[in-house]
A and B are shown apart, each in its own frame.
Chain A
Amino acid sequence: MITDHDKVLETAKDWLAQGHQVALATVTKTWGSAPRPAGSQLAVRADQTFIGSVSGGCVEGAVIAEAVDTIADGKPRKLSFGVSNDQAWSVGLACGGQIDIYVERID
């Protein structure tokens, strides 16, 4: 299947059962040559342990940081990542694509 959901949700369920707080990041829209299709997911614990992917490793670091904030305040976030450029510290997609990501806490 193109949208291979792996075992992200199964793992998130197990983490919750173990008493962890978990946030879920989902790719909701892609433009151009984005590495993972809409529907791809990443589950994150407060200790930054994660499973799944929303890109080819390009923006996971930034998404995990936002997910940890989402776990803390419970507020869903909508993130957008575009083409990476030479600006210091910017996070982006080297492939030239653009993606929207929805981050939410599982309550």
Chain B
Amino acid sequence: MNRAILEALVAARDKGLSVVLATRLDTGEEHLIDVRAAPKTAIGEAARVAATRDKSAPVEIDGAPWFLNVFNSPPTLYIVGAVHIAQPLSQMAALAGFEVTVIDPRTAFATNERFPQLHLITAWPDEALADLPMDHRTAVVTLTHDPKLDDPALIAALRSDAFYVGALGSKKTHAARIERLKAAGFDDAAIERIHGPVGLNIGAVSPAEIPVSILGQIVERMRKPDAA
């Protein structure tokens, strides 16, 4: 390994960037790839896939043996709506290793008393998300039931590489949401990225059980992106 590459890798990790170190095992040739700016080459594409799966793996490219070592930034969860469910969801997600931000312009909801030691943003979701990094390590969940707050967040999420997009609400609420997003120009493939009604169907009822089902679904999407 080249010492300059090691130093660049450590510096990238310090900055919170997601990078992949590609090493050709028969020659020692190596490339450090920034996932957000991965080149449109076979190695760049393989690195992007490995990073999305958060899985280091050997791959064969043009008949040569490579190893792709993934150094991802921690996963990020943006929760839109500082509602009751957001309290246990933010705590559980932080325990699971997510960097959590709660977004709600309603200052009565988004208070430090209700969300101690958490990154809170009291701005409109589309403005807040425009300033936050969104990539293959990002999950977005909307919890307000209010189209004025949820829809702009969902639109921002669908325009990003977010690996998970979820929206709380009944089937009826979700059907109405789909119609609005279609009217806003999103096609079926984009809309299918939204998990709604949100969460795994575990019969969750209480304000703590519902986050269990949501977080379970987020982890499933992160770890088994290919599963139906």
Contacts and interface: CB of A to CB of B under 8 A. Distances in A.
B1 A13 contact: no
A1 interface: yes
| Chain A interface bracket (under 10, 10 to 19, 20 to 34, 35 or more) | 20 to 34
Given A1-B72, A1-B74, A38-B55, A102 B67 contact: yes
Nearest to A13: B10
A99 B97 CA distance: 27
A24 B1 contact: yes
B28 A76 contact: yes
A3 B54 contact: yes
A102 B7 CA distance: 20
Interface residues of B, number: 24
B3 A107 contact: yes
A2 interface: yes
A12 B3 CA distance: 10
Contacts of B7: 13
B56 interface: yes
B6 interface: yes
A13 B23 CA distance: 18
A78 B71 contact: no
Contacts of B28: 76, 104
B70 interface: yes
B7 to A, nearest CB: 6
B6 A5 contact: no
Interface in B1-35: 1-3, 6-7, 9-10, 13, 23, 25, 28
Given A10-B10, A102-B23, A29 B2 contact: no
Given A9-B6, A37-B56, A107 B1 contact: yes
Contacts, number: 63
A5 B13 CA distance: 11
Given A1-B97, A28-B25, A38 B57 contact: yes
B56 A39 contact: yes
Contacts of A41: 69
B169 interface: no
Contacts of A1: 54, 72, 74, 97
B58 interface: yes
A106 interface: yes
B137 to A, nearest CB: 10
A53 interface: no
Given A39-B69, A106-B1, A28 B58 contact: yes
B3 A16 contact: yes
A12 B9 CA distance: 12
Given A3-B55, A28-B25, A38-B58, 6 more contacts: A12-B6, A13-B7, A13-B10, A100-B58, A102-B23, A105-B1
15 contacts: A1-B54, A1-B74, A2-B223, A5-B71, A9-B9, A28-B58, A37-B56, A38-B67, A39-B69, A100-B58, A102-B23, A102-B25, A102-B67, A104-B23, A106-B3
